[in-house]
Amino acid sequence: MNSPVSTEIRTSINSAEVDALLAQMTLAEKIGQMTQIEKNSITPEAVAEYFIGSVLSGGGGNPTPNTPENWAKMVRDFQEAALQTRLRIPLIYGVDGVHGHNNVKGAVIFPHNIGLGATGDADLVTRIAEATAEELLATGVHWDFAPAVSVPQDIRWGRTYEGYSENTDIVSPLGVAYVKGLQQRGVLPSVKHFVADGGTSWGSTSKYDWLHGNWQLPGDGYSIDQGNAEIDEATLRAIHLPPYQAAIEAGAMNIMISFSSWNGLKMHAQKYLITDVLKNEFGFEGFVVSDWMAVSQIDRDFYTCVVRSINAGLDMVMVPFDYKSFIETLTKAVEQGDVLQSRIDDAVRRILKVKQAIGLFEQPFGDDSLLSEVGSEAHRAIAREAVRKSLVLLKNEGNLLPISKYASRILVAGEAAKNIGMQCGGWTIDWQGASGAITIGTDIVESVTKVVGEDTAVEYNAQGDFKADPSDIGIVVIGESPYSEGMGDKSDLTLPAADVELVNKMRSICKRLVVIVMSGRPLVITPQLEQADAFVMAWLPGSEAEGISDVIFGDYPFTGKLAHTLPRTAADIPLKTLKANDNGALFPVGYGLTTEV
């Protein structure tokens, strides 16, 4: 068993030690430190041979079988290889732990950020980050590609749920809270995606006729993700930049660059924003990392891609596949003088300083003693608290909620009521997530059944096929199937016909009806709101649905407040259109009914 890792990222760096190490490094060792590889694309032996600075697991980059113990072994194997190199510089392993250590089966899945935005609870967000950090360190992971501090302005975007709010003033303190929580447990946060990924225009996603080894080209479903933010600098500074400045002031030492563009220029080539604004104006002293193969979108010539991105201020490149080509290309660029040695030294110095700050040189491995904390009851309790605080009550006619635990009969309908995968959404076990019992957790049907009295009949039928008495209480759970990134870009945010039909069916057979919506963004719900006696936005609550029963049965009050404006009609999307229409908002930011316990 390893000794415990350091509990907090250092605030001071020994620059002399870093400079002494840098002075010993060859160009090959330096460029290796600037290279990040996807774990299935490299062996531990190659990590040592090429002096690789970082390995990552993308969404679904899991060992087989997918257990915390196998994760810990997988990461350790890569780290041990890095420590066989001449200078014994440890690598840093990164994952997309965007709502818990969400690739690992059995890890706690917290609500996605859109739900945390509705809590407005910075202390809660810090505790979520601390719990996530413990589960990461248990598996040897020291770098979390989170938090996203996007400020989504168009809810048709498939990454809307990764942002806390459409409102910068809500995003900034919650982003800072997450940064602090990870850092207090010795894990490096990656604040992303710099910048204005939430400000792109519908239909602006570029298509490419070159590959550079990138299988993840924007497909036919991509319409706004990786698109172009067509905004002036004043808007950029007012809406999208403040969360980054706040995170840097809180000590953030890593920033991830966005796939998107600003006024036609790819962010990965934006020297003005990366070097002049982020590093010089904001005083950012950490290192900047690219997103997944995103440098390849800059130009059809890969040499140009590498030169422009490094000169713009990229310090580490998430290659993530053909690392030999990247290393050869950057080496050639330095030898030909297209990338200066001083730019390489600056990048590597930044990377080494961060590795020193998080204690990797003293303790390069994780903490095996924390394996018992993966999926622990203590962490699930935090997630359950987050669920109940994230729920937003939009309507409560006749004070239907809270429901009595001793009601004679409760009818529950909807596929989403018994579907942990739908509760969790994308970025869960796999990149796109999946439907069904994909990990350990509690679904809504289970949570309702657990809380009611022994004489209360709880009946479940996904299609709402009940022989009902008009006095019965009905609960309908509807929502979005899992998705992530541009695969979730969607022009029509009205409810699917099947969901509309299910609500209508349950309305016709139940005297009192609760509608619960699980989604990664606001949807157009105006007609269904009228059908319901009580209406709850549950967002993507994650693995602990007992947080839902906690409030609908009155053990805790509803306290969640909207962090996004709800549009009245489909014509009121995006946000700038809604704001131009005096009657465009069904409910404003900050709306949410409360109940009494």
With CA atoms as reference, report the closest residue to 302 among 211, 209, 206, 205.
211
| CA distances for 316 relative to 74, 313, 568, 591, angstroms | 22, 9, 44, 42
Round to whole Å and give the CA distance between 562 and 395.
Answer: 13
Phi, psi of 414 (to 5 degrees): 110, 135
| CA distances for 263 relative to 74, 200, 235, angstroms | 42, 9, 12
Residue 454 CB: number of other CB atoms within 10 A?
5
Q: Are 443 and 435 in contact (CB under 8 A)?
A: no
Longest dimension (CA), the chain: 81
- Residue whose entry in the numeric block shows the structure tokens 């660029």: 333
- Residue whose entry in the numeric block shows the structure tokens 């690392």: 323
With CA atoms as reference, report the closest residue to 270 among 217, 206, 314.
314
With CA atoms as reference, report the closest residue to 101 among 161, 61, 74, 157.
61
Phi, psi of 36 (to 5 degrees): -120, 130
Q: Are 418 and 353 in contact (CB under 8 A)?
A: no
Type of residue found at 387: V
76: enclosing H helix or E strand: helix 68-82
Tokens of 86: 């001449």
Round to whole Å and give the CA distance between 348 and 26.
Answer: 11
**Residue 354: exposure state from Cβ atoms within 10 A (0-12, 13-18, ≥19):** buried
Tokens of 274: 């990366």
Name the active-site residue from 135, 166, 291, 446. Answer: 291
Q: Would you call the peptide bond into 557 cis, given omega within 30 degrees of 0 as the criterion?
A: no
Q: Under DSSP, is residue 83 helix (H, G, I), strand (E, B) or coil?
A: coil
Phi-psi region of 264 (alpha: psi -120 to 50; beta: other; left: phi over 0): left
The crossing angle, in degrees rounded to 10, of helices 122-138 and 168-183 is 40
Phi, psi of 430 (to 5 degrees): -120, 165
Name the active-site residue from 38, 166, 315, 485. Answer: 485
Residue 304 CB: number of other CB atoms within 10 A?
16
- Contacts of 333 by beta carbon, 8 Å cutoff, 6+ apart: 303, 306, 307, 310, 339
485 is catalytic: yes
29 is catalytic: no
Known catalytic residues? Answer: 291, 485
